[in-house]
A and B are shown apart, each in its own frame.
Chain A
């Protein structure tokens, strides 16, 4: 598979099978993902990994404790929260990713962009090994319970949770707008 094919064929995976994911593989792919940045030295970031049934349950509990106590959460039937929790716990692995902020907004934006680029590398490297992922940033999961549970600090920024697992079938890709339609040549 060429690089261009890899980039075009990678899909976000929302349905995983139960094949376990090796923690060593995740670490290896993350390390390679960093190496693929031209200047990765000094990018402050941190991953918190939940890859065992016990830690996945804890992660789900952190997220849901805020949701179920919130006003919105009270409107959500318990049954639905249970379904959400089960789906979450059934996914083999979760990587919570945090980017360090910087001394000023520009530095913070640069770090954030670098960490996002690492995650794109990570998704592509995973795809190459048959691993599917979903980058999750739903507003509902970005809550105090989660942030406290993983020990997010004031100088850290939430980038997302990557759900990771093997899949049986990849969905069809949804067409992109040709770059020509979003293209302007500066005329001076």
Chain B
């Protein structure tokens, strides 16, 4: 399918079925997603998978979900590299979101306040020289009534130099 056509498909809010997400599926999708552009081929990402057995550890931090993928990036000292790395990891997460629906998987990408809580992040294995770039709430998607396909023009501020 053309990616351009995917944009026309109605999507509603993602609701999850109460069913575990196998790590093999997430890895399969990730191995496509890692083809994201990334400056200097630094591949600045790392993944921490929290499956259904430990999903309750996210209570109070995240919305309930069958599984979570914590996507972390290494913190570069150089300001430019830091921004480029966050950009690259964002591209990777976007790839994953584009691929997920084909497998019936729903993804809610979040970035919450607790990324700044070093101790909290540490309990999940995020290292001192790493930052959470996003926490993906994962689950098989419940059929949800879609919103009417793009009723309003998306916002785009496009100016000529």
**Residues on A facing B (Cβ under 8 Å):** 2-4, 6-8, 10, 12, 27, 30-32, 34-36, 38, 40-43, 45-51, 55, 58-59, 96, 106, 109-110, 112-114, 116-117, 119-121, 123-125, 128, 135, 137, 139, 142, 149-150, 159-160, 173-174, 176-180, 182-188
Q: A30-B156, A31-B153, A186-B125 are in contact. List 10 more A-B contacts (CB 8 A).
A: A7-B99, A31-B154, A32-B4, A38-B11, A43-B155, A48-B160, A109-B111, A117-B97, A176-B31, A179-B31
**Looking at the complex, which one of B35, B39, B97, B158 makes contact with A137 (CB distance below 8 Å)?**
B39
**B3 near A182: Cβ-Cβ < 8 Å:** no
**Looking at the complex, which one of A120, A159, A180 makes contact with B37 (CB distance below 8 Å)?**
A120
**B57 near A120: Cβ-Cβ < 8 Å:** no
Q: Which A residue's beta carbon lies closest to that of B12? A: A38
Cβ contacts under 8 Å, B113 to chain A: 106
Q: Which A residue's beta carbon lies closest to that of B124? A: A186
Which 10 pairs show the lowest CB-CB distances between chains A and B? A179-B30, A116-B90, A117-B94, A120-B91, A34-B154, A35-B7, A176-B34, A113-B90, A116-B87, A46-B157
26 intermolecular pairs with C-beta atoms under 8 Å apart = A3-B6, A3-B98, A7-B32, A10-B35, A12-B37, A27-B158, A34-B155, A36-B7, A38-B97, A38-B109, A47-B156, A48-B159, A50-B160, A112-B90, A114-B90, A119-B91, A120-B95, A121-B3, A121-B98, A135-B37, A149-B161, A179-B30, A182-B45, A184-B125, A186-B50, A188-B54
Instruction: State which residues 14-34 of B face A: CB under 8 Å.
Output: 14, 23, 27, 30-34
Complex: A106 Cα to B39 Cα, angstroms:
23
Complex: A7 Cα to B54 Cα, angstroms:
31
B127 to chain A, nearest CB (A): 11
**A185 near B23: Cβ-Cβ < 8 Å:** yes
Looking at chain B, what size class is its interface with the partner chain? 35 or more
Complex: A120 Cα to B55 Cα, angstroms:
30
Cβ contacts under 8 Å, A58 to chain B: 161
**A128 near B90: Cβ-Cβ < 8 Å:** no
A178 to chain B, nearest CB (A): 6
Cβ contacts under 8 Å, A188 to chain B: 53-54, 57
**Looking at the complex, which one of A50, A110, A139 makes contact with B80 (CB distance below 8 Å)?**
A139
A60 to chain B, nearest CB (A): 11
**Residues on B facing A (Cβ under 8 Å):** 1-4, 6-7, 11, 14, 23, 27, 30-37, 39, 41, 43, 45-51, 53-54, 57, 70, 80, 83-84, 86-87, 90-91, 93-95, 97-99, 102, 108-109, 111-113, 115-116, 124-125, 133-134, 150, 153-161
Cβ contacts under 8 Å, B150 to chain A: 35
**Looking at the complex, which one of B41, B112, B158 makes contact with A47 (CB distance below 8 Å)?**
B158
Complex: A12 Cα to B84 Cα, angstroms:
15
B39 to chain A, nearest CB (A): 7
Cβ contacts under 8 Å, B6 to chain A: 3, 36
Complex: A31 Cα to B152 Cα, angstroms:
11
